[in-house]
Amino acid sequence: MKKAIHGRDKTGNSWVYTDIVKDHFFNPRNLLPQGQESGYEADGVGRVGSPACGDEMVIWIKVDPKSEKIKECKWQTFGCGSAIASTSMLSEMVVEKGGMTVEQAMKISPKDIMDRLGGLPARKIHCSVLGDKALRGAINDWFRKSGQNDRIVQESSRLVDKVLKITDKDIEDAVLDGARTWEDLDRKLKVGSGEESARHEIEQLLRFYSEKYFGKEN
């Protein structure tokens, strides 16, 4: 049975960190030490978030041009323990077993990261959403630098629900238009009649954009 760290947030709700999260927080993998950024020759760089308003993640990757496998994945994160653990796990996932191809890495979802971590507290799920966005940003940067502009995937056009053709941008726009709950999204986007498998990621994106634009609940 997995051990966990227990505690409560400001509202009194319980949260749990697994031993895996704790391990990646205290022993982060593939971290690029501060001050070494300029000397690290990356093939692609992705950055999301801002330290002024919360978590920020930067990911550097090196890609084998023939196999298109990611051979190295370095990162820096300004944020909480969940952000550090999520990015550390993500960096390990993309280079293990000889490395993922860029196409495989582009398909990593926040749920994939959380599953490997053994879960995250509900209020910390947005940390894993940032991690996969930063990775896709780094891969897009590699596409751009290697003259493969036709392969660049715009973040705003990424499909979340393939049945209803809902993108993450649709969810972001719905939040900006007042959606705060699943029921709100259902009224605006009819998410309840879409892919059941997409619900988990849609809920994560709803929380992420709500916190990004309107702050965390007190």
Residues tagged active-site: 53, 127
Structure tokens at 51: 């330290």
CA gap 75, 174 in Å, rounded: 31
Q: Compute the C-alpha angle 29/50/82, nearest 5°.
A: 40
Asked if residues 39 and 139 have their Cβ atoms less than 8 Å apart, the reply is no
- In the numeric block, the tokens 């029921």 are attached to 183
3-state secondary structure (DSSP) of residue 206: helix
Instruction: Count Cα atoms within 13 angstroms, Cβ side, for 28.
Output: 21
Amino acid, single-letter form, for residue 156: S
**């969940």: which residue's tokens?**
82
CB 58, CB 46: distance < 8 Å = yes
Q: Beta strand 14-18 with 4-8: parallel, antiparallel or unpaired? A: antiparallel
Residue with tokens 């966990």: 4
